[in-house]
Amino acid sequence: MKQCLLLLFFISGISTAFAQFEKGDRYVGGDFGFSLNKAESSTTSRSTYLAINLSPNLGYFISDLSVIGINPQVNFYWNKNITSNNEKISSNTVSGGIGLFFRRYFPVVDNFYFFLEPKATYNSSFEEESKPRSFGLSLSPGASYKISPKWMVEATLGGLVYHKSYNSSGANQEYDDTRFALDLITANSIRIIYFINQKDQ
């Protein structure tokens, strides 16, 4: 992630300045994740795990440096196990949720900004039995660089995270888990932002 920030600094020093943000600007962006893992144990059992995550971002500038936005999320998980007796066991889970965020930009040089983003998220599985749910609060720092009037690249650097999950497995059995962490290493992301209503220069 340090290399990404250095690259943004380097580009900002050799590129042309574009129009700054304006109240009423709108943008779209987001994250897409795909993961496929296969494993085989010493007991000849085999497992395959597939995960697909889609999380678009929609932002609206309420001032020239402040944004409010919405972040819907859809997650699909599929798991298949083949036991040593050649028995096949598979399961899949679909979950979804919503995130609401506020972002404040801090100009550094032309086209380059730091930002802070407080965010609240809620997720729930669509399973009928256990109905796992989770709620989270986070405060994330990041950096953005406008590569053109309509396109911007940004890096989010993890941050301060509060997460609470709840799971009911029936028969009066309920489980909940609460976590509070500061993570500036593993919870990083890079995304591309497209401005809907800004004009090309």
Other Cβ atoms less than 10 A from the Cβ of 105: the count is: 21
d(CA 29, CA 191): 7
Question: Which among 18-27, 92-101, 172-181, 182-191 has the top mean pLDDT?
Answer: 92-101
Residue 145 has pLDDT above 90, yes or no: yes
| 7-33 per-residue burial string, b: 16 or more CB within 10 A, e: under 16 | ebeeebeeeeebeebeeebebebbeee
* Averaged confidence pLDDT in the chain: 81
The pTM (predicted TM-score) of the whole model is 0.75
For residues 144-168, average pLDDT: 88
Beta bridge partners of 89: 81
pLDDT for 187 equals 64
What six digits make up the tokens of 83? 């036991």
Residue 143 has pLDDT above 60, yes or no: yes
What six digits make up the tokens of 17? 């300045």
Where is average pLDDT lowest: 63-77, 125-139, 165-179? 165-179
Q: For residue range 42-64, list pLDDT tens digits in order.
A: 666 788 888 888 889 999 999 99
Residue 34 has pLDDT above 50, yes or no: yes
Residue 137 has pLDDT above 90, yes or no: yes
Residue 10 has pLDDT above 60, yes or no: no
Exposed/middle/buried for 173, CB within 10 Å: 0-12, 13-18, 19+? Answer: exposed
Question: Which among 2-16, 130-144, 162-176 has the top mean pLDDT?
Answer: 130-144
